[in-house]
Structure 1
Amino acid sequence: MRPMKDDVIPIAPVADVHRTVMEAAASADDAHAALALVVDTEGSTYVRAGAMALFDGQGGQVGWLSGGCLEPEIETRALAAAQAGQVDWMELDTRADEDLLSGSAVGCRGRLLLALLPLAWLPGWTRAVEAWRDGTDLELTLRSVGEQRIALGLGQTDWRLPSTPVPGQVQAGVRLLLKAPPRMVLFGAGPETPWLLPLLRDAGWVITLVERRPRWSPDTGVTPMPDHWEARTPAAGVMQPSVAGADAALVMHHNFELDREALEALAASDIPFIGLLGPRRRRDDLFRLLPAAAVSALGKRLRSPVGLDLGGRGAQAIALSIAAQLQAWHHGRVA
């Protein structure tokens, strides 16, 4: 796969790979599981190239490639590919008029080209996913190396697999860039945390919690377990490797002094999105105690109060408003 050149085969970035599918594939029973990978799309489709769904052979499914109408057919073919130990290519075309009212009746005029991958033939997949979750972008490549052979690469790992006849558009090669999941550091836990952490994790974020107060320790079961937990002060937490390179930070201790400490520490960081929980008056009070240089450094990075105005009150509504703003910001919909 290394000989592929950028000027020969353009690389298509995949900005929103589902973390849950990648991790489920890494821990699946390889002998019976298959990964359905969207290689190409045309027209109106539920997903784009790079989308994935896992079928585990025991009735389990992680990820969706349609609104549910196409999944039974995809699962049947995917599990057959796993049993046969080969890549199978599947085209789903619902662009004709009769597809609106017959068959699966999806109601969308689009075409999907899927590569159905037998996980038992992909040793090293788990290591590649771990590197991806830890912040490494992965290049996923497919190309024909014979009439019924396919070369598949993921990061630094390569495989040669038997295949059903390779579609023409895959002969020269397909390249997808699987961007590493976005990283969030949460300074302080509180009533919103049990609602917010699952929302962010399901949306693909890798989460570090900086919290040393015993009441909010994940060990108590009150706070959900994040990907990384730093039982440190905010100033010490900013210095940890799990925080380095974070895409976003939330400051929500429900404690004035701890929030002040976190904001001062974050002012010296390069984190582009910093959200502060609480009303504007509280932010202004915090600013009066921060050095002028820290206030200036926070600048337009600080969103205060954090969260979109969706209406509602209480922990659930606050968590939803924050998750919605982060989703919109991560995809370039809001500044």
Structure 2
Amino acid sequence: MLNIADVLHRWCRAARPFALATVVDVSGSAPLPIGTSVAVDEEGNAVGSISGGCVEGAVYELCHQVLRDRGAAQRAWFGYSDDDAFAVGLTCGGELDVLIQRIDPTEQPHLTAAFAEVAGGRPAAVAQIVDGPDHLLGATMSVLGDDRVAHGTMDSGPVYRAVTDQTRALMRMGRTGRAAAGGGDDCREPLSVLVHVRAARPRMLIFGAVDFAAALSQAGAFLGFRVTVCDARPVFATTARFPHADEVIADWPHRYLEHTEVDERTAICVLTHDAKFDIPLLRVALATPAAYIGAMGSRRTHHERLHLLMQAGLTEDQLARLRSPIGLDLGARTPQETAVSITAEIIAHTNLGTGLPLSSTSGPIHRPAVRERAVMK
């Protein structure tokens, strides 16, 4: 639902009831990930998309029905064979599981608060029960970026506290995902919760103010990263040379990295290609929780770098995290081609992709989004 938060925020502020249809599970090559929503208000205005095919028409009608009947939330399943899937926008036999529910902003002010945070560029998360007893289906609660919790329509108690904890955890990771709850003494019926997350942009930290860094900063910005370029030489570390970076820092790379924010979504790209910068920087980088750490250089440079890092006390497990030489084998030569090679490896690493040509692989093209599934007790 947070994919259309800006419009939903306006509807909530105007106290306009609407029906919300949300993709809660996908299989095959469904075109959009879980958490994607369509909303329809009582005047027939629609926003969002979940397939791009005639599924949209069926979902639109279901939204009208939910609004008209003012009934409980309901589930709808759309699955098609390979022969006719293309016509309805679900290629290669994709399947969608959709939850449709009526939202009255006057009864769920916490959603107005969550949509306002997202519309203002601030992080927020909304937890939504998508499987469980009928009376709980569609129940929601929100967590805002400053860790405030808006209770919403979800029951209080141990399950509520567990959902809150998992929502906060997924929000810290910046991931929309499913989690299980209940099934114990406190709530005997199992529940499935979809946590919608809109977090701050992940960071890309580029070290080395070189031409390759200029191209990579542009590619990183295009992919939605908050890009920082850092170099110890002030004459090279200038905003004029890196107009696509969010910030340009003149400082020793390892010193800057020691004092900046790094989380499980951060990509660290070491392009300095100089041992006096690389070794102290990588010692710090490989001790962080960064999702991706890559370093530029030849294979000979890589082997020498590994030797120096081992002498510096790094373990084999730490060194195994290092992507070097950086990037996928695309035959890249120019800075722009190299930037594509590096970002392609980051995408493949993040999404557990193979990096192989799709023509040489089998199975679904679109994989489910990488997400945390946790059992909450």
Task: Give TM-score scaled by structure 1 length.
Answer: 0.62
Corresponding residue of 2:342:
322
CA contact (8 A) 1:210 1:234 kept: no
SS at match of 1:159: coil
Cα distance, 1:275 vs. partner?
A: 0.3
Corresponding residue of 1:10:
none
SS at match of 2:139: strand
RMSD: 5.0
Unpaired stretches in structure 2, ≥5 consecutive residues: 12-17, 144-148, 155-188, 356-377
SS at match of 2:99: strand
Residue 125 of structure 1 pairs with residue 114 of structure 2:
yes
Work out the number of aligned pairs and report it: 292
199, 213, 220: which one pairs with 1:197? 220
Residue 176 of structure 1 pairs with residue 194 of structure 2:
yes
Residue 39 of structure 1 pairs with residue 24 of structure 2:
yes
SS at match of 2:214: coil
Cα distance, 1:75 vs. partner?
A: 7.9
Residue 222 of structure 1 pairs with residue 250 of structure 2:
no
Residue 307 of structure 1 pairs with residue 307 of structure 2:
no
Residue 187 of structure 1 pairs with residue 210 of structure 2:
no
CA contact (8 A) 1:138 1:177 kept: yes
| CA separation of 1:93 and 1:142: change in aligned 2, threshold 3 A | closer
| CA separation of 1:199 and 1:306: change in aligned 2, threshold 3 A | farther
| CA separation of 1:315 and 1:119: change in aligned 2, threshold 3 A | farther
Distance in 1, Cα, partners of 2:151 & 2:251 = 41
Distance in 2, Cα, partners of 1:79 & 1:220 = 50
Residue 91 of structure 1 pairs with residue 76 of structure 2:
yes
CA contact (8 A) 1:25 1:35 kept: no
CA contact (8 A) 2:126 2:141 kept: no
Corresponding residue of 2:36:
52
SS at match of 2:221: helix
Distance in 1, Cα, partners of 2:59 & 2:9 = 15
CA contact (8 A) 2:229 2:237 kept: no
Cα distance, 1:258 vs. partner?
A: 3.7
For 1:138-181, what per-residue CA distance to the aligned partner results, in whole angstroms no more than 9, with x for missing partners? 754346887798422344434349xxxxxxxxx97431355787
Corresponding residue of 2:160:
none
| CA separation of 1:80 and 1:216: change in aligned 2, threshold 3 A | farther
Corresponding residue of 2:152:
159
Distance in 2, Cα, partners of 1:119 & 1:315 = 52
AA matched with 2:96: L
For 1:258-297, what per-residue CA distance to the aligned partner results, in whole angstroms no more than 9, with x for missing partners? 4444224324445464200232234456567667125657
Distance in 2, Cα, partners of 1:262 & 1:193 = 19
45, 57, 61: which one pairs with 1:73? 57
| CA separation of 1:214 and 1:95: change in aligned 2, threshold 3 A | same
Cα distance, 1:107 vs. partner?
A: 5.5
Cα distance, 1:36 vs. partner?
A: 4.3
